Structure 1
Amino acid sequence: MKSYKKIEWRELDNASKIFPSTANNKDTKVYRITCELYENVDPCILQEALDLTLETFPLYKSVLRRGVFWYYFEISNLSPTVDAENTPLCSPIYIKDKRTLLFRVSYYNKRINLEIFHALSDGAGAVWFIETLIFHYLILRQKDTFNGNIPKLNYKASISQKMDDSFWKNYHRQNKRGLKKRDKRINAYRIKGTRLDENRMKLIEGSLSVNEVLKISHEYNTTLTIFLTSLFLYSIYKDMPADKQNYPIILSVPINLRQYYDSETARNFFSTMNVSYNFEKNSPKLEDIIKNVNNIFRENLTKEEIDLKLVKFMSLENNSFARIIPLPLKDIVLKFADKINDHKVTTSISNIGRIDVPQEIKRYIRSFSVSVSARSPKITLCSFEDRLVISFTSPFRETDIQRTFFQFLSNKGLEVEISSNE
């Protein structure tokens, strides 16, 4: 009698559903986390480390399949292969109707790159994966130096917890009664530029001291994230044509929901808030921008507001009519909605936060950085020890916004180390 292997599959979480429908060559929905070491990478050891890491992240063995009504993950028997870096930054990973894994690991000299299709995980989940990967790599690479005292990685959660759909787990239908009416949204200022050939991304990174940036932030009586968000608004304004200053600059800022709910998931679990500033109606001084941004952060990051954001996020999925719409029609609707939303937001800034590894292996690591596919200049940032890396990705040749941003920091007396993929 012929036996059949049981197929293991999982639904996409709520935040993931839009990415397969809207990914294209101009915006691949791929992001990269890079670890820079102090010595060149050994690809054979990196492959061994990747194999070990996958044992505790089984969802990373998934391929994306198309169902009648929704996309879904199917656990595969595919094995990822570590390769020398040979593709442009954030090149496509998900190819429609092609059975491939949704991430890749590459290396170049001292750098290890993890690139992920956003449907698989958000930045916080991916950080957890690369922390584990780098731990295994360095333990295998440096095992002779530990004299038998091999450090242990403190796993934060079980495999089942990592695979949780935390949107469903923390969603409460009774909260729907408090759902506010949708605010009237206006068109935002859109950054224009000369696109690079072949949909390539320009990456410009600035490395600074975390403590020095914190000092400047505290001079303005604010946090590092609010200070850099305000500086980004100011830098966009300085490049803004005079006849466009009646449009507000609106930044989308991701919110890591794990900070507000009981969640150890390695999948997507985030919301967003919009930070808006109209320079025609308000002062262009950085001090005044910071005051406004500080108020927006304070209003949006209460538990009540976070609960409402979660309910809004889940409302479409719980709509009976939306559930029965066939997937091809959903693709069309989501692409259309994404284009409309593109007019409502100027760009985004995302702080992945502090990346950490066991103390015993920190001396082998120089820095971490994060970059993302972009339809307009975007900022992503993260820190490791005292090293903060601010990454601008942009599809445009022009770099005036980036120059204004880093020159401001340099003029404040900060030492900024600039690098680029050009």
Structure 2
Amino acid sequence: MTHRDWVRLDNASNIFLAARSAADPKVFRLSAETDHDVDPQLLQEALDETYDRYRLYHAVLQSGLFWYYLQDSDLRPLVTPEEQHTCAPIYQAGRRNLLFRVIHHRRRISLEVFHALTDGTGAAWFLSDLVNAYSRRRFSDSDKMLPLEDTSEADEAPLEPEHALSIDSFAHYFHRRHRSHASGSAFSRAAGPAAFTVDDSAQSSAAHRNISRLRRPAEKKVHHVRGIRTPDNRTRVVELTMPANAVLGLARAADVSMTMYLTALFFESIRISSGGLGKARTLAASVPVNLRQFFPSTSARNFFTTVRVEHTYGQGEDDLGSICKQLESQFLPQVTQEALEKKLRWFIRVERMPGLRIVPRPLKDVILGLANRHSNRGLSVAVSNLGRLSLPEPAESHVGRVLFHVSAVRPQFCATSHAGLLTVSFTSPFVETDHIREFARMLTSEGIDVTVAAERVTEDEIAEGLS
């Protein structure tokens, strides 16, 4: 193939290139825990099948003068045993490699992804198909097993995720121009027309006028968690597992969503473990929102935004129930379809300003990096809840826990549930785990059975594991 199809990097992905660092390479991991030791050969066969259905995952990341772009490739992925620390860097400038890896360790099948390729929902689709393809091989007679039909290029597959390279849901819903894709490659044709329109009149001047309205953190001194950095910048991971229904019952008793209940617990665990927060008494969290809930899309590419919630101690009721309700009251108005559409349209207008579009890519990276650092100053932690996952049979019957975590520049937790088990995976660039201990203690005090597993990161811990 002499000509490589390519598409510009989608709107949500650009920030990951500018914000990545040695401590936070912008990699996340989704894992499925089976009821047996994984067979690497069968897993490779399953990966080959799944990879052929997901054209997006064939992409490599390239850089041009003005933008980054995803380019189709003929590379083939190989499953590997777990040999690196979790969420090790995937993308390295100048190297032409796939933007994901599949790892096995004992009973776990893990998918690690560079966040510029896809988001948690898109990765969950890939992992679900991968684990099911593996399970069909592992638990079905080979002469009765039929491969899944390739629906990635089908004209009518409304229930199937779109795996092609070019589907950018941000462009589909929020870009102002209708573009025809009647010709070109299969994945170029897959990009649908804009569902919404944006008034072009006075767009550039309006964007200029409104730059000053970009949401900034409230003028409060936000508490930042400090600690001792882990050796060689590896991510500290601590996994908590508990009955999903029991925790959901606590959230319902507080009359809030599980995400806001867990966030309030996170705030309280940080306050207690810090000895009272000191002078900076505001805790703020970044919470990603899956836009597919509001703007139906089968694209496997990034399609999410983030909202911010906070609580300031000493300015009202500080009991757990009151914090839960305050966070919920901040969160809900930000996640209506109207609020999200207004926010995202504004950001894309700014992105498409002619003056910014001709800025060279390296300078854009600097600008985005500065904006990201400015945003980080207004945050204490980050949280992400992927929700309840279900798998097709036969995978559903042979998978217990599903786990989700990310590399982190600040303390963070990621939650997901499967088979009645909720996993809350904490990650941090620091070795300290006091806030996690308090989080687990508060749950156990409510009668929740919590099990804890921690990845070794310090020299002493690693040496202990080898002994």
* Contact 1:245–1:279, Cα closer than 8 Å, also in 2: no
Q: Distance in 2 between matches of 1:161 and 1:373?
A: 26
- The 3 A distance-change label for structure 1 pair 386 and 317 is same
Provide Cα deviations, 1:231-277, integer angstroms capped at 9, x if missing partner: 11211222335463444211000000000012111010001100111
Tell whether 2:262 aligns with 1:221. no
Q: Whole-Å Cα distance in 1 between the matches of residues 111 and 251 of structure 2? A: 31
Report the Cα distance in structure 2 between the residues aligned to 1:150 and 1:107, rounded to whole angstroms.
24
Return the match for 1:173 from 198, 217, 225.
Answer: 198
Give 1:288 shift: 0.7
Counterparts of 1:254-265 in structure 2, within 5 Å, are 254-265=288-299
Alpha-carbon spacing, 1:329–1:149, altered in 2? closer, same or farther (3 Å): closer
Given the superposition, is the C-alpha separation of residues 421 and 25 from structure 1 closer, same or farther in structure 2, using an over 3 Å criterion? same
Contact 1:162 1:264 in 2 (8 A): no
Quick one: structure 1 residues 22 and 264, their matched pair in 2 at CA, closer, same or farther if it must change by over 3 Å?
A: same
Which residue matches 1:182? 214
Question: For residue 185 of structure 2, what is the aligned residue in structure 1?
Answer: none
Q: Is the 8 A contact 1:203 1:393 kept in 2?
A: yes
Q: 1:59 is paired with a residue of what secondary structure? A: helix
- 1:123 is aligned, of 120, 140, 143, to 120
Query: Counterpart of 2:424 in structure 1: which amino acid?
Result: I
In the TM superposition, residue 160 of structure 1 has moved relative to its aligned partner by 6.0
Alignment of 1:240-279 (within 5 A): 240=274, 242=276, 244-279=278-313
Whether the aligned pair in 1 keeps the contact of 2:29 and 2:111 (CA below 8 Å) is yes
CA contact (8 A) 1:36 1:111 kept: yes
Asked if 1:49 is matched to 2:46, the reply is yes
Task: Tell me what 1:132 maps to.
Answer: 129
Q: 1:110 to 1:249 in 2, by over 3 A?
A: same
- Offset from partner CA, 1:347-379 (integer Å, 9 cap, x none): 200001111112433221111100100112100
Which residue number in structure 2 is paired with residue 10 of structure 1? 7
Q: What is the match of residue 380 of structure 1? A: 414
Per the TM alignment, residue 137 of structure 1 is displaced from its structure 2 partner at its CA by 0.5
Which of 82, 107, 110 is matched with 1:85 structurally? 82
The corresponding residue for 1:354 is 388
Point out 4+ residue stretches in structure 1 off by more than 2 angstroms: 147-163, 174-188, 239-247
Moved more, 30-39 or 211-220: 211-220
Contact 1:246 1:280 in 2 (8 A): no
The one-letter amino acid of 1:303's match is Q
Q: Does residue 331 of structure 2 align to residue 334 of structure 1?
A: no
Sort the Cα spacing of 1:81 and 1:161 in 2 relative to 1 into closer, same or farther, 3 A. Answer: closer
1:94 maps to which residue? Answer: 91
Q: Deviations over 1:269-302 (max 9, x none)?
A: 0011001111132322001101101101221121
Residue in structure 2 matched with residue 73 of structure 1 by the alignment: 70
Q: What's the CA shift string for 1:63-91, capped at 9, x where partnerless?
A: 11011101001111111111101101111
1:35 aligns with 2:44: no
Query: Which of 314, 321, 324 is 2:348 aligned to?
Result: 314
Report the residue type matching 1:111 in the other structure: R
| Separation in structure 2 between the aligned mates of residue 378 and residue 308 of structure 1, nearest angstrom | 28
- 2:100 maps to what in 1? 103
1:350 and 1:72, CA in 2 relative to 1: closer, same or farther beyond 3 A? same
For the 8 Å contact 1:32–1:372, the answer to whether it is kept is yes
SS of equivalent residue, structure 2 residue 402: strand
Kindly provide the amino acid, as one letter, of the partner of residue 165 in structure 1: D
Cα distance 1:326–1:359, how it changes in 2: closer, same or farther (>3 A)? same
Bigger shift: residues 150-159 or 92-101: 150-159
Structure-2-length-normalised TM-score: 0.85
Between the aligned partners of 2:253 and 2:417, the Cα distance in structure 1 is: 20
Q: How many angstroms does 1:385 deviate by?
A: 2.2
Alignment-derived partner of residue 191 in structure 1 = 225
What TM-score do the two structures reach when normalised by structure 1? 0.94
CA distance in structure 2 between the partners assigned to 1:13 and 1:184 by the alignment: 24
Question: Which sections of structure 2, spanning at least 5 residues, go unmatched?
Answer: 152-156, 175-196, 457-467
- The one-letter amino acid paired with 1:30 is V
Deviation at 1:152, TM superposition (A): 6.5
Preserved CA contact (<8 Å) 2:235 2:428: yes
| Residue deviations 1:147-171 (CA, integer Å, cap 9, x gap) | 9487969973264677410001111
Question: Deviation string for 1:163-185 (max 9, x for gaps)?
Answer: 41000111142398898933442
State the alpha-carbon separation in 2 of the partners of residues 76 and 162 from structure 1: 11
Summarize the Cα distance change of 1:342–1:121 in structure 2 as closer, same or farther, 3 Å threshold: same
Give ranges in structure 1 of 5+ residues lacking alignment: none
SS of residue paired to 1:97: coil
